[in-house]
Amino acid sequence: MAELEQKLQAERNEHVKAVAELIQLEEQIVTERDSSSASVKRLECQLGQELDGLRSQLAAIVTERNALLTNARQEGMQLEPQSNMSQPTEPCSPAESDKT
C-alpha cells in the first residue's frame, strides 16, 4: 500500500510541475501578445503619420502643377499631352538603321 501511495504522490508531483509549466507558458504568451500588440500599434501610428505627410506632399505638388499649367495656358504655350511623355520609343532594327 505504501508503494502505491508513493507512486500516487510522484504522479501528483509530476502533475503539479506540468500545471506550473503550463501557467508559466500562458503568462509568457500573454506577455508576448501584449508586446506584439503594442508594436503593431506603434507601427500603425508611424505609417499613418508617414502617409499623412505623403498626402500633404502630393497635394502641394498637384497644386503647384495646376498653377504651372494655368500660367502656361495664360501665356499661350502649347503643352504636349502627358500620355506622349510616358510612352517608350521603339528601338530601330538594324535593317532600318542601314537605310538612313
SS3 assignment, position 76: coil
Q: What's the per-residue H, E or C state across the chain?
A: CHHHHHHHHHHHHHHHHHHHHHHHHHHHHHHHHHHHHHHHHHHHHHHHHHHHHHHHHHHHHHHHHHHHHHHHHHCCCCCCCHHHHHCCCCCCCHHHHHHC
If DSSP codes are grouped into helix, strand and coil, which group holds residue 42?
helix
What integer pLDDT is reported at residue 97 of this predicted model? 46
Q: What is the pLDDT of residue 99?
A: 47
Q: What is the pLDDT of residue 14?
A: 97
pLDDT along the chain (100 residues), means of 10: 92 97 97 95 97 98 95 76 52 49
pTM over 0.85: no
